[in-house]
Amino acid sequence: MCGRLSQYRGLHEFADALNMEGVWRSNVDTQPLQRYNVAPSTSVAVLRCDEGGPRADLVKWGWRPHWATDRAAPINARIEKVAHSPFFRSIWPNRAIVPVDGWFEWVDEGGPKKQPYHIRRRDGHPALCASIGQFCNRESDGVVIITADALGGMIDMHDRRPVVLSPNLACEWVQLNMAIEQAEQMALNLGEPAELFEWYRVSTAVGNVRNQGPELILPVL
């Protein structure tokens, strides 16, 4: 999975996709986010549960433990390793959903530059990406998206894909009482299949993180 995504709907639309019982607490504006080109180290909307119930927050995309000062903060974590990795051990129990309208990949098609593609669900619903993070209201907070091997035609875009969960499984994923072993098996085996997604060419303007307009997700020839 490449390091760009889109989050342009309003928070209520993302929360509605989970259809979770309880009153959502939020520090995210209720207006549409209108972010069409979200880059690493910037804030993303995150849905999760704490002792008070469902909540939404803006959290930095990327995290590293306090002792890992020799590398940049990863934005993704491989499901094949994350549950048993010393790097992510402290946040593996802190499960969340990063709801996205889509994400971008760059493909080498033989031209002078790689061609960007936007990937999204065919049914128009948000993609509910399994994630983990640190949510302590500190500067060191952050979230990483869990990835798996790409499947089907999606492998032509990139060899990795975010683990996208169905709404029912996403609700289970964020529950505090889920066993960590069960969470690992869910992410390993129950991600949404490639045929539920579509991908199409978009403007190379998405390569500049300063560009943020809706034209970035329009198909181009």
Which are the catalytic amino acids? 2, 105
**Closest by Cα among 97, 124, 112 to 217:** 124
- What CA–CA distance (Å, rounded) separates 88 from 81? 9
- The answer to whether the beta carbons of residues 3 and 42 sit under 8 Å apart is no
Please give the structure tokens belonging to residue 155.
Answer: 């492998």
Please give the structure tokens belonging to residue 168.
Answer: 């029912």
- The answer to whether the beta carbons of residues 158 and 2 sit under 8 Å apart is yes
Please give the structure tokens belonging to residue 63.
Answer: 């995290």
- What CA–CA distance (Å, rounded) separates 221 from 204? 12
* Side chain identity, residue 169: L
